[in-house]
Amino acid sequence: MTAVFVPRAEWGALPSRGPSTDITPGGGGVTVHHVGPSPTARRDHADCAGQVRAVQRQHMDGNGWADIAYTCLVCVHGRVFEGRGPWVRTAANGTAAGNQNWYAVCGLTGGSPSGYDTVTDALLDAFRWSIDWLRDSGGAGRGINRHSDHTVTQCPGGLSPYVLNGSLEPGSGLRDRTGTWPFPLGRGTAGHGTAAGAAGSGSW
């Protein structure tokens, strides 16, 4: 299974208002996010680009940010939507250090412990592809962590076990969930994001 990259022009991105390029991702890596506490994955992939456009409009028009907050976004159908892209500072990780040292990849999923979107193999593959791309093209460090490793939040919800067991490490091929969600808020695990010993933090 191979992820498919969707450039900004293909999903209909609004022009960026010039976000900062002040980022040093070699000191961190990639932080994993999800959309929120309600199921949100689109059944039909034809609806995913519209979902990404809605996120961008909320971030730019609602929050007043320079662009969509995430470096890229991934859907359950295995697509990787280009967000801010490599070598651009994220606005997603919740702390100055988090945005300085970590890229942000958001799964287009959501939910609670009582009902979370299905985590597909295609979604996991898209995360792995994104992380590998950001290491290769964006100088990302080896860390993979969660929004909740940066600040007190439940994000990335049902994706947390896959971060913690190393499933998102490129080339791992792991699929099994480990651990129990929800995890305690504010675990303070920045620097210990994956089973591979990656350093990092995350945001919502």
**Among 123, 130, 146, 128, which residue's Cα sits nearest to residue 28?**
146
Q: Is the pLDDT of residue 79 over 50?
A: yes
What tokens appear for 29 in the block?
């890596």
Q: Is the pLDDT of residue 96 over 80?
A: yes
Percent of the chain exceeding pLDDT 70 equals 85
Q: Is the pLDDT of residue 87 over 50?
A: yes
Give me the pLDDT at residue 171, please.
87
Q: Is the pLDDT of residue 189 over 80?
A: no
202 — pLDDT class (breaks 50, 70, 90) = very low
What tokens appear for 157 in the block?
């919800």
What is the spatial distance between Cα 186 and Cα 204, in angstroms, rounded to a whole number? 13
Give me the pLDDT at residue 105, please.
98
**Which residues make Cβ contacts (< 8 Å) with residue 149, sequence separation at least 6?**
31, 187, 188, 189, 190, 192, 193, 200, 201, 202
Among the ranges given (48-52, 66-70, 182-186), the one the predictor scored with the smallest mean pLDDT: 182-186
What tokens appear for 200 in the block?
């990092």
Q: Is the pLDDT of residue 33 over 70?
A: yes
137 HSE (CA, 13 A, CB side): 11
Its pTM stands at 0.87
Task: Round the average pLDDT of the chain to a whole number and report it.
Answer: 88
Give me the pLDDT at residue 183, please.
60
User: Average of pLDDT values for 102-130?
Assistant: 96
User: What does the CA dihedral 32, 38, 44, 45 come to, rounded to 10 degrees?
Assistant: -20
2 — pLDDT class (breaks 50, 70, 90) = confident
Give me the pLDDT at residue 120, please.
96
